Chain A
């Protein structure tokens, strides 16, 4: 019967109440005259019902609940220590970094640099927010197209594929391994996505044509910071932190699922070239 295939494809959205009225009517009309699709709808309905019923009767184990509260206590404690450290350091424009690992890295805030400018740019609203775009690309963790065993091989992979030279970033003073890389996009431009393992945490570095940055600054809530005396921008979205900077026309974005302080400390150790 004609239309079964397409009806089946939209059946789920219809059953989930996600189909607009016009399309719903098409599905309903088809189902009314097609026993096969009506059966399919019944089967999916019974699966939905069975799955919904599994919500009942699940209880989080008590030991986890108390472990969580203890973890929140520890988090509060570390926040108190950070605040105290910040108050002691009143002379700096305080962007306190948690943990001793960050000693010796100069990171400050309050700087408003000329990096791409922060004035609104026409058409900015049409573009996906750069911050969200980068965070999502980091989150998706797509398979690599070239493995990172040899950084030269990674450079060569991008040679001729992108308008910018791609030299894998090195991290000083932390155990970091280049896992691999792939072609990606930032905003509407092609970009290199380099995936690292930095002390066991997943860190993505995106390299792209820095001309997309002014648009990003117009739409995103990015905060200017200064890292190792160089301008950079810090943003976070959906639990991911992104630090963006520019060197010689190349935009760099370092994304991680760590909080801003830890991500900034990793960014501070990145050798951008």
Chain B
């Protein structure tokens, strides 16, 4: 049934559960929309939606993940500007893939492993690099690395299989690494979004074969 009772305790419960996560919602909205005004609207739409559907939030589960899922859903249904096709084309330019990492020999002269490992990336520069990513990739990276959601939670937020999330995360991080100059990329053509769908069993079996052979 659609609940029509007005329960005075509901508003209180909602505020005490949801408002502590407002900062997480706002910073994610700001980075997704890249506009202060759109971020405000996106947060408001999402919070109202959360309020309407609060009875469906399963108490005891991760409310921050639930809220971020609503926000991501609202963002992609109302605020997205690019189609996935155009995004893939955008990220395709100079997008590093695994094969594009420079060999150890090439890297050796300027490697300085300690500095690379310890290199403190400035917050501002990492966020600028993230904001240049296409929306679908930016969203995955923000949910994973800023908000700390699990792959499953991100997959639910984005309505994609976990394999797609892994693939986007992989590409997004390497694009950021390239922009920040913490790695290099070769001229190798980027992989298609659909191709690196991950299959753990194949991976393990192949590895075992290689070890055995």
Contact A50–B198 (Cβ < 8 Å)? no
Return the contact of B116 from the options A26, A42, A60, A138 (Cβ within 8 A): A42
Contact A60–B22 (Cβ < 8 Å)? yes
- Contact partners of B40 in chain A: CB under 8 A: 61, 64, 67
Tell me which of A16-24, A151-159, A161-169, A210-218 binds B.
A16-24
Interface membership of A35, Cβ < 8 A: yes
Q: Mark B47-87, 1 if CB is under 8 A from A, else 0.
A: 11111110010000000000001100110111010011100
Contact B73–A9 (Cβ < 8 Å)? no
Interface membership of B99, Cβ < 8 A: yes
Contact A51–B145 (Cβ < 8 Å)? yes
SS of B interface (majority) = helix
The closest CB in chain A to the CB of B148 belongs to A52
Contact B121–A139 (Cβ < 8 Å)? no
- Contact partners of A96 in chain B: CB under 8 A: 4
CB distance from A197 to the nearest CB of B (A): 12
Q: How far is the CA of A45 from the CA of B123 in the complex (A)?
A: 14
Return the contact of B101 from the options A8, A9, A52 (Cβ within 8 A): A8
Contact A223–B1 (Cβ < 8 Å)? yes
Among residues 233 to 263 in chain A, which have CB atoms less than 8 Å away from a CB atom of chain B? 236-240, 257, 259-261
Interface membership of A140, Cβ < 8 A: yes
The closest CB in chain B to the CB of A96 belongs to B4
Interface membership of B89, Cβ < 8 A: no
Among residues 199 to 219 in chain A, which have CB atoms less than 8 Å away from a CB atom of chain B? 202
Among residues 11 to 60 in chain A, which have CB atoms less than 8 Å away from a CB atom of chain B? 11-13, 16, 18-20, 22-23, 26, 35-36, 39-40, 42-55, 58-60
CB distance from B15 to the nearest CB of A (A): 8
Return the contact of B169 from the options A3, A12, A76, A136 (Cβ within 8 A): A12
CB distance from B124 to the nearest CB of A (A): 9
Contact B5–A83 (Cβ < 8 Å)? yes
CB distance from B75 to the nearest CB of A (A): 11
- Contact partners of B198 in chain A: CB under 8 A: 9-10, 13
**Contacts A9-B170, A238-B73 given; does A18 touch B151 at CB 8 Å:** yes
SS of A interface (majority) = helix
CB distance from B122 to the nearest CB of A (A): 7
Q: How far is the CA of A58 from the CA of B120 in the complex (A)?
A: 20
Contact B26–A58 (Cβ < 8 Å)? yes
- Contact partners of B212 in chain A: CB under 8 A: none
- Contact partners of A12 in chain B: CB under 8 A: 166, 169-170, 173
Q: Mark A54-83, 1 if CB is under 8 A from B, else 0.
A: 110011110011011001100110011011
Among residues 181 to 207 in chain B, which have CB atoms less than 8 Å away from a CB atom of chain A? 182-183, 196, 198, 200, 203-204, 206-207
Interface membership of A2, Cβ < 8 A: yes
The closest CB in chain A to the CB of B152 belongs to A18
Interface membership of A188, Cβ < 8 A: no
Contact A23–B107 (Cβ < 8 Å)? no
Contact B111–A39 (Cβ < 8 Å)? yes
- Contact partners of A271 in chain B: CB under 8 A: none
Interface membership of A176, Cβ < 8 A: no
Q: How far is the CA of A22 from the CA of B204 in the complex (A)?
A: 8
Contact A10–B203 (Cβ < 8 Å)? yes
Contact A47–B23 (Cβ < 8 Å)? no
Could you list which residues of chain A lie within 8 angstroms of chain B, going by C-beta atoms?
2-13, 16, 18-20, 22-23, 26, 35-36, 39-40, 42-55, 58-61, 64-65, 67-68, 71-72, 75-76, 79-80, 82-83, 86, 94-96, 109, 136-143, 202, 223, 236-240, 257, 259-261
16 new A-B contacts, CB < 8 A, other than A3-B207, A236-B53, are A5-B99, A9-B166, A23-B200, A39-B101, A42-B113, A43-B177, A45-B117, A64-B44, A76-B11, A86-B4, A94-B4, A143-B85, A202-B78, A238-B69, A239-B49, A257-B77
Q: Can you name 6 A-B residue pairings with CB atoms under 8 Å?
A: A26-B204, A47-B180, A55-B147, A71-B47, A72-B14, A239-B69
9 tightest Cβ-Cβ pairs between the two chains A and B: A8-B98, A50-B121, A51-B145, A50-B126, A42-B117, A136-B159, A58-B27, A60-B26, A43-B182
Could you list which residues of chain B lie within 8 angstroms of chain A, going by C-beta atoms?
1-2, 4-6, 11, 14-15, 19, 22-27, 40, 43-44, 47-53, 56, 69-70, 73-74, 76-78, 80, 83-85, 98-99, 101-104, 107, 111, 113, 116-123, 126-127, 130, 141-142, 144-148, 150-151, 156, 159-160, 166, 169-170, 173, 176-177, 180, 182-183, 196, 198, 200, 203-204, 206-207, 210
